[in-house]
Amino acid sequence: MTDAKEPEEAEQPDPPENTKSEESEEPEDIDESALNQSATVINNFLGYVDASAARFGMGGGVPVRATTRDLDPAEIAGLLTNYLEPEAFAPALEDLAARHLIVVSGDEEIGKRVGAIALLSRMPLVQGRITVLSPARTLAELATQTEFKPGRAYLLHDWIAAGTESAAVRAHELARLAGKLVEIGSFLVLTRAGGQGRDEHAWNCPDLGELFDVTVGAPPGRNPEELSAARERAVELPSPARVVALARRVAADPRPVAELLAEEEGGEVAAWFDAKPSREDVHLVAVLAFAYRMPERIFESELSRLSAIRAELEGDLLPPQVRDAEPQSRMAWSREHPLVTVVAEGSGAARERRVVFKGVHHRRQVIAELVGRYGFTLWQPLRAWVRSLAASGLELQIQVSAGVAILAGVSLTESCQEFLDVWASGSAMERLAAANTISIMCADDALAPEALTLALSWVADVGQARAMTAALALGGGLAIRYPADTVNWLWFLALRAVRVNVVARRSLALLFRQAAEREDASRTVLRLLRVLVATEMSETGSIRTRKALDVVVDLLEADTLDGTRPLAERMLTTGSGCAAHLGRLWAWALSSGHHRGHAIRALRRVLIPSSESGAAAVAAVSELGEAIWAHLPAELAEPIEQRLRHALGDAGGAERSHILVQALLSAGSRHYNHQRLR
């Protein structure tokens, strides 16, 4: 490295870049505190989906996990419990066994993913694991950049790159890939939404009535009439997953089946709309659908604002009719309304009433009815009002993002074209609202691939603002679902022009801060970053190398999400296997004269003072030190060690800090003594 030859290299400004086209616009930056606060809310929501259901008026579920990961035998067995093979299963199984590669196509939510897992589980595998690949991989990437191993199974679900080449080219590439898989001895199933293409297997649902029967079993306390009514409803549902969910609720929920079915069907919501409610009543539920669980005072202010926007758009500038009595508007939702009620939250002076729907699924059902029943006269002012909420405070902005995410599940086109694409090109807070919506979409298995597709569409040459929005989105929920994709794309953006580079660097740091809150995620993203940095270190002294090390320093200097401790300290003491990756990153930063000071200060923050000094902490710091010294250039080892001893010499009188400092420096002494003996 060029930097490695000059221990005291003076800091020099980056060479100028030819970035005129990307720097012609100057979108304003996002406030750091707003970004951190929204990241905390989103991270908690995705980590505790079930607990967050009431807050957001969304059906609860399990915490969001990475889509791209290994499914172990226990998880596969759980997914295949009571699995029923559809008619398309047998021919697909025969073809997979012969060709080692098949493409399964069909409508959304008809069981393609579980069907693919069932197919792969029948193959002669060395291990019972199935590796799930990114839906963004192209056939070229699968053929040249994916390491397939003998006797292993691979799944690529909701393939979003399926339409990037012609049918003839795709058929040729699939045949070539199949030959490679046969030679290696591994198996791959790709699933995609849409009609059957050439050499693809059209998938279909299993018998939904039979699926209900095998799932519900014979639950105690349920009579045949109740089970028959539930079964009749099950065969009308649009997906096997919905049938399984209904059967499990009937088996486990003690409430009457009629009540469960009414909640499932949204019959109460549909009946309310069938009665042709007044404009004011429709406004009421429409505002609540997007400004959910807000304090009553804020809710009624937004309700009034929507009415004013509609009046202005319609040219209704006449003063309101004078009434003899002031209308008791709060009574409309506090006692009498069949769908809406209020709940009191907080204590003391902070206690206030918040407006909510009565049913856990009402929010989605109301949005679906608004989309299905009403046209331009309602949606024109409603769109204008919803778009304006992006500039609101964090609580309201997150709720409107949740509403637009729910809308995406009802009408993806409406959500993208009328809100997300508009926000992505807008102000700083609008871009944050778009990114938060993308993150909340990741809570839904069916919407997560669509969220990834949309974010990647903003990365392309569609303007700096959208690229900055993509960087924000990639650092949120998408990073949980698709860690490798998001790290790779954020890395690409971090090496671009200054404005996009800054946002991408912040998102990468945020991604790591969020990963530290989740088991095993820290090690995964650190490994990915280490590989990416290594590819840039060959071009010594280049702009790209400087930017790569800027990202490294951002990570080493970052704090945890709650701001209570250095992020690297948390990773070292709680993330098994992180020390070796962090040590490599620190060695690169220490080897650069431009970044060395930042790297030393970051080390000092981790070790002095430290709240951790037990055996595990000492072992982690020793491993960190061994990794640092192992990767430092030999000619820099002694001067850097001297600088470290000077910088770390003052341990603030804390014995625990002295212990960790000595553990780090002793690792260097051991390493170089070993080198001399060799």
Whether residues 546 and 401 share a domain: the answer is no
Q: Which long-range contacts (CB under 8 A, 24 or more apart) does 610-614 make?
A: 610/569, 610/654, 610/656, 610/657, 610/660, 611/565, 611/656, 612/569, 612/573, 612/656, 612/660, 613/655, 613/656, 613/657, 613/659, 613/660
**Same domain (yes/no): 300, 404:** yes
CA dist., res. 267 & res. 188, Å (int): 42
Please give the residue range of the domain that contains residue 380: 21-57+267-317+336-444+456-462
Backbone φ and ψ of 495, nearest 5°: -100, 10
Task: Supply the pLDDT for residue 320.
Answer: 55
Q: Which of 46, 48, 80 is nearest to 66 (CA)?
A: 46
SS (H, E, C) 494-537: HCCCHHHHHHHHHHHHHHHHHHCCCCCHHHHHHHHHHHHHHHHC
Regions of the chain with pLDDT less than 70: 1-28, 48-62, 163-164, 316-335, 461, 519, 575-576, 609-613, 649-658, 668-678
Q: What is the pLDDT of residue 24?
A: 42
Same domain, 274 and 368: yes
Judge whether 323 lies within some domain.
Answer: no
CB of 594 closer than 8 Å to CB of 10: no
CB 508 within 8 A of CB 551: yes
Among the listed residues 266, 269, 204, 208, the one whose alpha carbon sits nearest the alpha carbon of residue 237: 208
Q: How many domains does the structure of the chain reveal?
A: 3
Q: Token digits for 236? A: 């009308």
**How many Cα atoms are found within 13 Å in the side-chain-facing hemisphere of 280?**
8
Domain boundary among 151, 175, 202: 202
Q: Is 9 inside a domain boundary?
A: no
**668 in the same domain as 595:** yes
pLDDT tens-digit series, residues 281-303: 999 999 999 999 999 999 999 99
Q: Are residues 362 and 282 in the same domain?
A: yes
Task: Say if residue 411 is in the same domain as residue 544.
Answer: no
Q: Does residue 635 sit within a domain?
A: yes
Per-residue pLDDT tens over the stretch 384-437: 999 999 999 999 999 999 999 999 999 999 999 999 999 999 999 999 999 999
Alpha-carbon gap, residue 296 to 356, rounded angstroms: 10
Number of H helices, E strands in the chain: 35, 8
Instruction: Determine the Cα–Cα distance for residues 144 and 514; give it in Å rounded to an integer.
Output: 32
Residue 242's closest CA among 205, 277, 188?
205
pTM of whole model > 0.85?
yes
Domain-embedded: residue 322: no
**Is residue 251 one of the residues assigned to a domain?**
no
Instruction: Give one DSSP letter per residue of 338-373, joined into a string.
Output: SSEEEEEES-GGG-EEEEEESSTTHHHHHHHHHHHH
Same domain, 152 and 286: no
Whether residue 291 sits in one domain with residue 188: no
Report the run of H or E that residue 276 belongs to, with start and end.
Answer: none
- C-alpha distances (whole Å) from 246 to each of 83, 148, 213 are 15, 38, 11
Residues 39 and 127 occupy one common structural domain: no
Q: What is the 3-state secondary structure (H, E, C) of 12-42?
A: CCCCCCCCHHHHCCCCCCCCHHHHHHHHHHH
Domain end call among 176, 202, 228? 202
Q: State how far Cα 238 lies from the chain centre.
A: 26
Identify the bridge partners of residue 106 per DSSP, sorted by sequence position: 193
Residue 186 domain-assigned (yes or no): yes
Nearest to 282 by CA among 364, 409, 382: 382
- Domain final position from 169, 202, 235: 202
- Does residue 255 fall inside a structural domain? no
How far apart CA 536 and CA 667 sit, in angstroms, is: 27
Instruction: Give CA–CA dist 507/511, Å, rounded.
Output: 6
pLDDT tens, 450-474?
A: 999 999 999 976 789 999 999 999 9
The answer to whether 548 touches 11, Cβ cutoff 8 Å, is: no
Distance in angstroms (rounded) separating the CA atoms of residues 654 and 373? 68
Collapse the DSSP code of 644 into the 3-class scheme (helix H, G, I; strand E, B; otherwise coil) and give the result. Answer: helix
CA separation for the pair 678, 668 (Å, rounded): 16
**Residue 452, both tokens:** 């990834």
Q: Tokens for 39?
A: 């990241």
Q: Three-state DSSP class for 80?
A: coil
Residue 127's CATH number: 3.40.50
Q: Are residues 543 and 638 in the same domain?
A: yes
